[in-house]
Structure 1
Amino acid sequence: MDEAQGAHTATDRAQALREHGLRATAGRVAALAYIDAHPHASAADVYQGLVTDLPSTSPQAVHNIVQDLHQRGLLRRTDLPDAGGARYETRTGDNHHHVQCVVCGRVEDVDCVVGHAPCLMPSDTHDMRIFVTDVTFRGICRSCEQTEPEPAAY
């Protein structure tokens, strides 16, 4: 289990923030809690999830928070096709992949294809040490398939 996933209480999250060199502000603790409960959330999702309890927060503040948390390794940022922006999750420290519905945009985790990072190796590394591989499987979920059996070519 990675560090962020192990932080399930406000105290644990505050400690994780401090261990990563960040102040444990109410916004950071709340953002970690929200993203832990809502994996693959966008910054806009996080803002909507926090604004009721933290009315003084702003969309820009949330963007800054998720960027800081990502840079310090507490969040993983994923840029998925047609997602309308970066998605964040607390599952860090592994090289898992994602599956995305091309109709509704639902995103789910897929464990590493081989079982160890980087899961896949390119045919030519161009003299680079490869440490991560991002794979996005795209398809259509069953619920969308019932309403739209023939999605457009993607």
Structure 2
Amino acid sequence: MSTTRGADLRESLKAVGLRVTRPRVAVLGAVEDQPHADTESLIGAVRRELPAVSHQAVYDVLRALTTAGLVRRIQPSGSVARYESRVGDNHHHVVCSSCGAIADVDCAVGEGPCLDASETHGFVIDEAEVTYWGICPACSESPVAPTS
């Protein structure tokens, strides 16, 4: 990890009031490097930098980063939890129903929350979550038709 990048990650942690630790810096860096990665993929990435880090430590760091707003946890239907560092906007996701690949999709119309609820039930709505489903380019080009 470059010195500048490491300093940026440490500053991000400090800015939200989190103590800077090697596992937190490593996990935050892994999430930035692998948008929409699942926990197991992140554990593998972190262990390349910190071989002795435990599964539980990574889970705890992900929870702390999510609570602090540095990381967003998403879980499309039928998928394990995934993490991304794109926070602070109200973007959505497109998911391949064949291989599970995920990509970001910006809001199609206007300001967040992008959609107006037909009934708020007294809630003050500040975010809408939309998941688009389809077949990614790699699966569309596959000679084997995806199963539905």
**Could you tell me which residue of structure 1 aligns to residue 127 of structure 2?**
132
Counterpart CA distance in 2 for 1:13 and 1:143 is 33
Letter matched to residue 57 of structure 2:
A
Matched length:
144
Please state whether the residue corresponding to 2:110 is helix, strand or coil.
Answer: coil
Letter matched to residue 49 of structure 1:
A
Letter matched to residue 106 of structure 1:
A
Q: Structure 1 unaligned runs (5+)? A: 1-7
Counterpart CA distance in 2 for 1:89 and 1:14 is 17
Normalising by structure 2, what TM-score?
A: 0.92
1:79 and 2:75 are equivalent in the alignment: yes
**Could you tell me which residue of structure 1 aligns to residue 117 of structure 2?**
122
Counterpart CA distance in 2 for 1:139 and 1:127 is 34
Give me the identity figure in percent: 40
Letter matched to residue 66 of structure 1:
L
Please state whether the residue corresponding to 1:138 is helix, strand or coil.
Answer: strand
Q: Structure 2 unaligned runs (5+)? A: none
**Could you tell me which residue of structure 2 aligns to residue 149 of structure 1?**
145
**Could you tell me which residue of structure 1 aligns to residue 54 of structure 2?**
58
Aligned-pair CA distance for 1:129: 0.7
Please state whether the residue corresponding to 2:73 is helix, strand or coil.
Answer: strand
Please state whether the residue corresponding to 1:34 is helix, strand or coil.
Answer: helix
**Could you tell me which residue of structure 2 aligns to residue 5 of structure 1?**
none
1:103 and 2:111 are equivalent in the alignment: no
2:9–2:25 Cα contact (<8 Å) kept: yes
Counterpart CA distance in 1 for 2:29 and 2:123 is 36
**Could you tell me which residue of structure 2 aligns to residue 9 of structure 1?**
5
Aligned-pair CA distance for 1:142: 2.1
